Chain A
Amino acid sequence: MLELTINNIKVKAEEGMTILDAAKSVGINIPTLCHMKDLFPTGACRICVVEVDGMRGLTPSCAYPVMEGMKVQTNTPRVRIARKTIVELLIENHPQDCLVCVRNKNCELQDLSETYNVREHRYCGEKKEHAIDISSASMERDPAKCILCGRCVRTCGEIQKIGAIDFTNRGFYSTVTTPYNIGLNVSDCILCGQCILVCPTAALREKSSSKEVMNAITDKKKFTVVQVAPAVRASIGEEYNLPLGTNATGQLVTGLKRLGFDRVFDTNFAADLTIMEEASELINRVSNGGTLPMFTSCCPGWVKYIEQNNPELLPHVSTCKSPHEMEGAVLKTYYAKKMGLKPEEIYVVSIMPCTVKKFESNRAELAIDKLQDVDAVLTTRELVRLFKAAGIDFNDLPEDKFDNPLGDSTGAAAIFGTSGGVMEAALRTAYFKLTGTELANLALEEVRGNDGLKSSTIDINGLEVRVAVVNGIGNVGPVLEEIKNGTSKYHFVEVMACPGGCINGGGQPIHQKPEKVKKRVQALYEIDSKMKNRRSHENESVQKLYKEFLIEPNSHVAHEVLHTTYVDRKKILSNK
């Protein structure tokens, strides 16, 4: 421990701590832009500068370690002028279109402008001009709005280890873009949207589908059906200032009904269905000498990643469609028939915490007779915007229940939204299928939590099933290497592209606080633990679906409707 003074306040700090953290510990706020917790500081934005006795210039507090006896001032005229000037410089090279910007009132640059009382355009001149990259199905890149803080670059490169974007050009003409400035659609990007979550402005944002969805709702000929992913219910409350980790399922259903959807279903239903198929596939592979380990296929970011980078390993990926695609497929087959509707009359909308799902819903493989299983995907953020425009105030909304039969679900489905959840759910059912008895301890602590790679071994009837959970695509490399080397010991591996799983997906409310994610995860585990049925095979509606339509898991019909194929995207991308 050492002692320093910040604004004449004595502060005890640990060696290696930054001035920024030391100041925070005594309630002194220092603004940051490029700073990212737990990553090595880049010192790029200079907004966090402070005055340190004996130093020539101002010191970036996020990058400078505390020292014994150091005297720091965070609020001198020199510091204030410096920070204000930096904000002014950023604003001068930023489009002045806040009023029509998707991040209006949720923009760090706007906040800083307010904080530092910027009231004039002091330094006018040339502004950068860039075209918006709308090439991808999921995301838009608007480099004109980029303030070059580099958080997206670091997220993509250092956390996700994709490196689809980086800085190019120099000085005033620096931009963050893809190699050779190609469109995101043909880049290495997997569209996970983690960069959107860290972007301080609207330089990165999802591609909105709200207009299409509202048009479908208005279209009298369309039977609009909406489904909600497990992770959405645990995060949407944040946008209405509900306590962190509020389970807002009831309000969500009411809101969607008021928005005008004909039916409101739950993706959790399909999650249970996925488990039925995936567990059977796993058992099949294990007992018949199939390709192992088997990877989960729920996460479209992961699927896109392996298609782009290791297509030779695609046989390892489960052929199951992801839950919302299964739901869509069932809606346009079984449900359509049941309701006497033509499949093309049904318009399926998925509310997802995810940006890649937009890309996924457009995949040619995820269609039956050229009719896409899912017609549109909205992110949690887009849904909130639709609610606002429709005058739906969450705070006073009565609770409602999902429609049936595709609204019924178990606790196993709820935890799909968090890293390790699919694994846990699958094991609960696989155990039952193989032993005929239920797994005693349902909470598999070893696959929960925030580690990058989690693994466990479960004894099923004397068979040691070795499983692993990859939490965040940045951690998948070693697992793939092991498979390529032939040294992989796993039977079953869950991969989620976003760190933390869908709960921290690229379509979720934008935040900069890690504790928010923790609370969201808690909410999902709570839903599970409070459920009467906590195993997917206990879902009565799913059982009925098999009885009436699918016959049994992995049956021929099930394969037609619920399973898919993959493509070698490496080949496609290298032919661009």
Chain B
Amino acid sequence: MKNFIETCCNECWHTNENPCEQFVLCCTEGPLCHQNPECKVKFQNLNKELLYQKHDIPVIFIGMGTCGLASGAEKVKEAIEAELTKLNIEARIVPTGCIGFCAREVIVDIKVPNDKRVAYCEVTPKDIPELIKTAIIEKKILDRKFLGIHGEGDAGHISIDQVPFFKRQHKIVLEKCGIINPDSIDEYIANGGFKALDKALRIMTPETVVKEVKDSGLRGRGGGGFPTGMKWEIALKQKNDKKYIICNADEGDPGAFMDRSVLESDPYKMVEGIMIAAYAIGASSGYVYCRAEYPLAIKRILNAISKCKEYGLLGNNILGTDFSFELKIKKGAGAFVCGEETALIASIEGKRGMPKPRPPYPSISGLFNKPTVINNVETFANVTSIINKGAGWLNSIGTKASKGTKVFALSGNVKYSGLVEVPMGVTLREVVFDIAGGIPDGKEFKAVQIGGPSGGCLPESVMDTEIDYESLKSVGAMMGSGGFVIMDEDTCMVDVAKYFLNFIKDESCGKCVPCREGTKRLLEIIERIPTAYSEKTNKLEQLQRFKGIMHMQRLADVIKDTSLCGLGQTAPNPILSGLRYFREEYEEHLYERHCKAGVCKELLTYTIDNDICSGCGLCAKKCSVEAIVGDKKMPHYIVQEKCIKCGMCVETCRFEAITVN
């Protein structure tokens, strides 16, 4: 037997056209339809192989998610292949997804027969000969690149779970990410996959599935945090010949890549979650709405769908029950607003992706006016574990109102960027300093931007806030989908607000007035703040700069109060949270026209220190606008009116005589 779809002997009658009710259980405990010790061994061996418990040749796992590939995983793979050929070593190479530690990619795990799986990080093609020599030929650990041992550690070599980055994490959604081969349905099954679906179909009614999810306290992981079970319950109660399930994989926040990683690393977990949801509400069709910018994720979902069909896990009469379900993928064209559920529905319907007023809610009238449940990737991935382990299990993790875990995508000025899954209730400080290793280069922490572009920037003073839906809202941010951007002292908060607002303005669909016109005006107000003063500046512009500030709060409040969808309602958050926590910085820009972080170009002043300048004239030569004057061998001088703050002089000066502030 090479895979589970093969029959062990003539007595097994399972085919995908005629699925066997016991298929899932049979895979891991089979055969169940007949008793044959030989067959039993066949099954056991296959399972052991798929779990990498039994293999004759070394197995080399390479993290080949998008982050791994971006770090050069493809080159590493080629180098490994070349080295293996060179040394005439037979080994198996298994591409995996992302284990979450994106900062230290390329991550390569090596498992030699009858030994533990050892993870190495920051592997480059140059390291390969040494790595293969040490790990495969000498069967030792290459300490230079050592990350951790999967399973228990030993003297001198810690378990990967004890690595600070992983230690505080609690992996439910990401459990198998980076561990298993995301393209192999057999590995997924051997790891307990589809057991939840099997349980739901065979021993649970739709009502009990909904109740289980409801009792677990699971809330939507896509941003709003609406109780998932409640959403399902409404859809279940609708009487309609057709219902839909949609998986929102249109992850559009800058700095968010949680869903992508799950799709690339463990797509079956999400597919199984979708199928359980479909069974629970009575849906016969489903869509995965995934942005076209995620080519690898799309490839993996398509593969997962076709494999599921092949194994009789998608299609008619799944596992011999009355449950029939088809799953399609719909590629999104990259509009941020299509993450909003009604806009997403419009997009699937072939219409312009614009939100619609609610009610009616999609659970009552959604896709093609049929009851539709939309959840995001992470939510569905949680469902599988809930059904397997029970509502009480998830309920025991997290805080009072926010249960379970949340995956965050750490990025920005932080030592270890990557994906982390933490239980609700962990503080922001723990995530930034304990898990992500704090700020690199000895810089000071300044803020963390959480919740995507329309989240908020939180300062040091609220870093002890526990991560849950309500606490984050109370400090002016939001859970959002899980973007977690960390900023150091060199970040200008006015500039950050400008960046996010510009994003929101570009991504506004243009339907409702406050978002379409308001975000543009808000951006213009912010853009006028870091402008330099000169005698030549138009008086009207000066007036507008101050007038804008006077009316900024009013405009932000109206946008928040009146916008049609979540995008607009949260659009002013970067500014509102900025004004709340970094007011002095705004005032400094406004009144003193000074940017402490040295980011706002127009407000910078370049000066040459007379004591240091040797008068070499190199800077004057390089200055493209001839703003630097001075006699040879005499200290030079910058004509401020001419200076365009390009910074070329600073780069040119060999004496560090030019200062910027």
Same complex:
yes
Given the known interface contacts A93-B517, A124-B544, the answer about A57 and B512 at a Cβ–Cβ threshold of 8 Å is no
In the complex, what's the smallest C-beta–C-beta distance from B500 to chain A, in angstroms?
14
Given the known interface contacts A171-B520, A172-B520, the answer about A123 and B357 at a Cβ–Cβ threshold of 8 Å is no
Pairwise interchain contact B506-A44, C-beta atoms closer than 8 A? no
Contact partners of B544 in chain A: CB under 8 A = 124
Pairwise interchain contact B520-A126, C-beta atoms closer than 8 A? yes
Give complex CA distance A78, B557 in Å.
10
Contact residue among A42, A82, A124, A169 (Cβ-Cβ distance under 8 Å from B561) = A82
In the complex, what's the smallest C-beta–C-beta distance from A266 to chain B, in angstroms?
46
Contact partners of B548 in chain A: CB under 8 A = 123
Stretch in contact with the other chain, from A59-67, A239-247, A366-374, A411-419: A59-67
Pairwise interchain contact A86-B562, C-beta atoms closer than 8 A? yes
Give complex CA distance A315, B520 in Å.
54
Contact residue among A58, A90, A122 (Cβ-Cβ distance under 8 Å from B513) = A90
Give complex CA distance A81, B556 in Å.
12
Most chain B CB inside 10 Å of its own CB: which residue of A47, A58, A90, A123? A123
Contact residue among B335, B507, B513, B564 (Cβ-Cβ distance under 8 Å from A89) = B513
Q: Taking chain A's interface residues, is the majority helix, strand, or loop, or is none over half, making it mixed? A: loop
A88-127 to B contact mask, C-beta < 8 Å, 1/0: 0110110000000000000000000000000000111110
Assess whether B547 is interfacial by the CB under 8 Å rule. Answer: yes
The 7 closest A-B pairs by CB, nearest first: A174-B510, A43-B357, A171-B508, A89-B517, A63-B357, A125-B524, A123-B521
Pairwise interchain contact B511-A89, C-beta atoms closer than 8 A? no
Q: List residues of A whose CB falls within 8 A of some B CB.
A: 41-47, 49, 57-58, 60, 63-65, 78, 81-82, 85-86, 89-90, 92-93, 122-126, 147-148, 150, 166-167, 169-174
Contact partners of A82 in chain B: CB under 8 A = 558, 561-562
Pairwise interchain contact A46-B563, C-beta atoms closer than 8 A? yes
Pairwise interchain contact B564-A123, C-beta atoms closer than 8 A? no
Give complex CA distance A147, B563 in Å.
16
Q: Taking chain B's interface residues, is the majority helix, strand, or loop, or is none over half, making it mixed? A: helix
Residue of B whose beta carbon sits closest to that of A43? B357
Give complex CA distance A126, B418 in Å.
39
Contact residue among B509, B514, B524, B525 (Cβ-Cβ distance under 8 Å from A46) = B514
Pairwise interchain contact A42-B357, C-beta atoms closer than 8 A? yes
Give complex CA distance A424, B511 in Å.
44
Contact partners of B508 in chain A: CB under 8 A = 170-172
In the complex, what's the smallest C-beta–C-beta distance from A278 to chain B, in angstroms?
41
Contact partners of B505 in chain A: CB under 8 A = 171-172
Give complex CA distance A172, B509 in Å.
8
Assess whether B555 is interfacial by the CB under 8 Å rule. Answer: yes
Residue of B whose beta carbon sits closest to that of A150? B511
Pairwise interchain contact B517-A172, C-beta atoms closer than 8 A? yes
Contact residue among B354, B357, B509, B560 (Cβ-Cβ distance under 8 Å from A64) = B357
Contact residue among B519, B560, B563 (Cβ-Cβ distance under 8 Å from A171) = B519
Contact partners of B564 in chain A: CB under 8 A = 43-44, 46, 60
Assess whether B242 is interfacial by the CB under 8 Å rule. Answer: no
Pairwise interchain contact B555-A123, C-beta atoms closer than 8 A? yes
Contact partners of B520 in chain A: CB under 8 A = 125-126, 171-172
Pairwise interchain contact A126-B516, C-beta atoms closer than 8 A? no
Give complex CA distance A122, B554 in Å.
11
Contact partners of B352 in chain A: CB under 8 A = 166-167
Pairwise interchain contact B514-A125, C-beta atoms closer than 8 A? no
Contact residue among A63, A86, A148, A150 (Cβ-Cβ distance under 8 Å from B514) = A86
Give complex CA distance A64, B354 in Å.
18
Contact partners of B512 in chain A: CB under 8 A = 43-46
Give complex CA distance A89, B524 in Å.
13
Assess whether B551 is interfacial by the CB under 8 Å rule. Answer: yes
Pairwise interchain contact A171-B521, C-beta atoms closer than 8 A? no
Q: List 12 A-B contacts (CB under 8 A).
A: A44-B513, A45-B513, A46-B512, A46-B514, A81-B557, A81-B558, A82-B562, A90-B513, A123-B525, A147-B513, A166-B352, A172-B519
Q: Which of B356-401 contact A (CB under 8 A)?
A: 356-357, 359
Assess whether B518 is interfacial by the CB under 8 Å rule. Answer: yes
Residue of A whose beta carbon sits closest to that of B509? A170
Pairwise interchain contact A46-B506, C-beta atoms closer than 8 A? no
Residue of A whose beta carbon sits closest to that of B550? A122
Given the known interface contacts A57-B569, A171-B516, the answer about A78 and B555 at a Cβ–Cβ threshold of 8 Å is no
